[in-house]
Chain A
Amino acid sequence: MKITPDVAPSVSALDRPNSYIGRSVPRPNLARLTQGRAQYVSDITLPRMAHVVFVRSPHAHARISNIETTAAKQAEGVIAVVTGAELAKVMTPWVGVLTHLKGIKSAPQYPIAVERACWQGEAVCAVVARTRALAEDACELIEVTYEQLTPVTDAETALDPATQVIHPDLGDNLTFERKHEAGAPDQGFAQADAIVETTFRFGRHTGVTNEPRATVADWNPGEQRLTVYQGTQAPHMMQNLFAKHLGLEEHQVRVLTKDVGGSFGIKVHTYADEMATVALAKLLRRPIKFVADRLESFVTDIHARDHRVKAKIGVTRDGTITAFEIDDLTGIGPYSVYPRTSGIEANQVVNLVGGPYLCPNYRARARVVFQNKNVMCQYRAVGHPIATSVTEGLVELAAAQIGMDPLELRRRNLIPDDAYPATGASGIKFEALSHHACLAHIDSMMNYAGLRAEQARLRERSVRRGIGFASFIEVTNPSAAFYGVGGARIAAQDGATVRLDATGALFCATGVTEQGQGTEAVIAQCVATAFGVPLERVRVLTGDTDNVPYGGGTWASRAAGIGGEAAWQAGKSLRANVLTAAASILQADPSKLDISNGVIVDADSGRERIGLDEVARIVYFRPDTLPPGFQAEMVATRHYVPRGYPFAFTNGIQASYLEVDTDTGFIKLLKHWCVEDCGTVINPQLVDEQIRGGIVQGIGAALFEHCVYDERGQLLNGTMADYLVPMAPEMPDIEVSHVVTPTADSELGAKGAGEAGTAGASGAIMNAVNDALRPLGAAPITEIPMTPDVVLRALNKI
């Protein structure tokens, strides 16, 4: 059996009879998912529901001269044909900027293009019909006349004076620029015995959620209410945006999110076609369903990465890193995505480069430019894979240059585990990290010395194996510093409401959402533990703006650390209320009572006094028997937001062991390890699976995934047959382990774990490939994906 065994609770203070913190309890919602009884948005059907399909621009940049809709309007099953100009009367446009990203600019974006299409795939007309197939038939009958404009596709030349400005009102194609300097970088480089300077390139890739984006919008004129069933990570954010741009009050909008077929940051943004779907429901006064098909997904789901980073490191002969310098350039499509903006990833790169290390000398510039390609925005581990690959790539190239073991170079430069709190060169604040403990752990866990010996043995037989590492930091548990301070109405805090039901069971409504990562289990674990009931006595509701506390949802690895703490506090609060009620019934001192396994007991002896079902019965049905003036409160709500630090940084290290076929350029991953520190581990199995899934997404970026555009702005590989994703046979087994440094910002001490895997994987693999090829005199590979072509070029074979 390979089933992971339960591990003992890691937090002894929580070791009570119903302590589920630190235990691998199964998720309560899994059985129905395995039985085909989930309810994804794509499964939803409502009475009178119609389907919308969009005609999309085949050009990257074109003026829309005319849209001929007569034939389509007369086609079978067609309910309406709506252009951008018509829909602009129903919904206002939006601009994706935030005030804390100084100088960021963008142009108004409409739900359907008006006058001009700015990327291949942008919707230019909507057809609503009885079925999706009939709507697609009618789309064929629409004739759009385009006047092609020069597309801006190369980020490198986007700022040249000769390049066309995509939005003339903005003056140039620069979305955002940030410069940062700390310490004395020039002096640092002057002190270095060796300087490595290179350029890293990161391919554009995308999320490829298994369920494409899906929205069912239902406007009820009788109630003057809009109900939107949406596969989203942030229901309250979307509630606000739907209301704002339709001219409604927020309370007129309800967003419902049931099962979501994968998110990873893809489903946390405003998409023009989803906004159009909601506007069409209002216009046509009936439910409208939009489900992107896979080909639409490739040209409309946000893309990510696509950075070119010129980077430099200085190091002394004895292995002291003296300075880091980066110049990052990224092209983000024609609009900064609303409301989180497309400036955050580059900003994160500046924040995170050099982050694990002591070196105080750092110079950075990041520029974000417009181009006529699909929009880019935040995707799992925003900026982390770029910053980690650059930093760790430089570190291992520097180690090779001075002839030092790459782990040894890290030992000499990682911030010491006893040096916290500390501030990174970019100004980021670290509460407590454990780089050295993680490094020591992975060293023994992977038997590093043994692998090096094996590598050397096999090299004699011309088998080219490589070992690569990546130390990393991860931004989790964000405070308002991420979005709120910039003016976005995206909740930083989150809440939980816990209720004792009439039979003594607990019900918890939470503002964080379930995207498959196990939120419902984690919330139930927190509530059951704090209150003192068996886990199966807790039911959890997520994803309903009418019925859960106002919250941010799931992004930036916040659901467990922030939502979990709110649930923990709400559980404790209700526990106090219930003990007060029980004490009143028993005429006892509440401080002498406890709740254990769903029964009120004497705190000292554990003697059972009264069941929760009996307390509930008396409170709800026979309150007349309670003392005069006593009112029981069987609902408690608590909220939580981290206040001590802007972000709860986590840290860790990954290692990759692989073999390169120098004839074909194929890379075979043999094994991958990760040791990370997300503080208190609420559910070890769920955390480990987040790490594994995240690593495999990083492997996809490292080896396969690439949205390839030509110079006309045409996506050349927008199908699942052409855009390669990680599949089972090529993936290695992954060993995961943890060092535990709880955050003191919350009582539970949990930090996030959703992005650590993706943060470090591509850097570790890049380093391993270079480690394998170095003895052959290959040029260092500093680009991903590392396709066979890239490997063979590095070997000078093609």
Chain B
Amino acid sequence: MTDRVRVALTVNGERVDAEVEPRQNLVDFLREELQLTGSHVGCEHGVCGACTVRVDGTIVRGCLMLAVQCDGASVESIEGLSDSGDIADLQAAFCERNALQCGFCTPGVLLTAQELLMRSDGAPSRDQIREHLSGNYCRCTGYQAIVDAIEAVALARQGPAR
């Protein structure tokens, strides 16, 4: 087997030094080595989006990126985004609108939604929200509640004077 490789990275603002197998993907590293189980493994081939995490500010599939590629990077997972309060409004809207049932896809959906809202100039339309979620599989909700919750937050973040 290939030798382990030393990596140093930041995970949710904490410095992490680890020796990883070159074949280990990022989401397995987070879940198995760091016990950050909020990122989920759904398909392991980049379709379902349950493993979505942020690397250096951009969302990636945790199953399509290797841990060794994250040497020197800043990785953020649902645990970090929850603790920072950055997505507290999205989380509250998801609860209020019941935009999740089993919740397995939810961390990935929240990270994806946050990216859309941060990049959008003005509130995105429902079609734009649906399009941006095209890589996040949810079997439970049928998506409408998710779109409703994200739309509500998008409008709220525009401020009250609209």
Interface residues of A (CB under 8 A from B): 1-4, 26-27, 30-31, 33-40, 42-43, 45, 76, 131, 133, 137, 207-212, 259-264, 291, 293-294, 515-518, 685-686, 689, 692-697, 719-721, 725-729, 731, 733-734, 757
Contact = CB atoms under 8 A, between A and B. Distances in A.
A720 B82 contact: no
Which of A3, A76, A696 neighbours the largest number of chain B CB atoms within 10 Å of its CB? A3
Contact of B100 (A30, A36, A207): A30
For chain B, the bracket of interface size reads 35 or more
B103 A30 contact: yes
26 contacts: A2-B151, A3-B97, A27-B95, A33-B100, A34-B82, A34-B95, A34-B110, A36-B38, A37-B38, A40-B40, A209-B102, A210-B105, A211-B42, A212-B42, A259-B103, A262-B104, A263-B102, A294-B43, A516-B100, A694-B142, A697-B139, A697-B142, A720-B137, A727-B133, A727-B134, A727-B136
A696 B145 CA distance: 12
Nearest to A24: B98
Nearest to B21: A133
Contacts of B138: 210, 728
A693 B40 contact: no
Nearest to A694: B142
Contacts of B100: 30, 33-34, 516
B43 A3 contact: no
A722 to B, nearest CB: 10
B21 A517 contact: no
Interface of B: 1, 21, 23-24, 31-32, 35-45, 47-48, 50, 77-79, 82, 91, 93-98, 100-107, 110, 126-127, 129-131, 133-149, 151-152, 155
Contacts of B40: 40, 42, 210-211, 261
Contacts of B104: 38, 40, 210-211, 261-262
Contact of B142 (A133, A262, A294, A734): A734
Given A30-B94, A36-B77, A208 B139 contact: yes
User: Chain B interface mostly helix, strand, loop or mixed?
Assistant: loop
Contacts, number: 192
B152 to A, nearest CB: 5
A47 to B, nearest CB: 14
Contacts of B77: 36
Contacts of B21: 133
A37 B149 CA distance: 20
A725 B140 CA distance: 12
A650 to B, nearest CB: 19
A3 B91 contact: no
Which of B131, B143, B146 neighbours the largest number of chain A CB atoms within 10 Å of its CB? B143
A686 B101 CA distance: 9
Contacts of B137: 208, 210, 720, 725, 727
B42 A210 contact: yes
A692 B48 contact: no
B5 to A, nearest CB: 15
Contacts of B37: 36, 39-40, 43
A210 B82 CA distance: 22
A492 B82 CA distance: 41
A207 B102 CA distance: 14
A689 B50 contact: no
A26 B94 CA distance: 10
B114 to A, nearest CB: 12
Given A33-B106, A35-B78, A40-B37, 16 more contacts: A1-B152, A3-B149, A26-B96, A27-B98, A35-B91, A37-B79, A40-B40, A42-B40, A131-B32, A133-B24, A207-B139, A210-B140, A211-B104, A294-B45, A728-B130, A731-B143
Given A35-B91, A36-B38, A518-B98, A721 B45 contact: yes
A36 B107 contact: yes
A581 to B, nearest CB: 36
Contacts of A1: 152, 155
B76 to A, nearest CB: 11
Contacts of A207: 139
Which of B106, B129, B135 neighbours the largest number of chain A CB atoms within 10 Å of its CB? B106
A626 B137 CA distance: 59
Contacts of B141: 689, 692-693, 696
A625 B156 CA distance: 56
Given A728-B133, A729-B131, A34 B106 contact: yes
B136 to A, nearest CB: 7
A731 B103 contact: no
B101 A517 contact: yes
Nearest to A696: B142
Contact of A31 (B32, B91, B101, B144): B91
A133 B138 CA distance: 27
Contacts of B97: 2-4
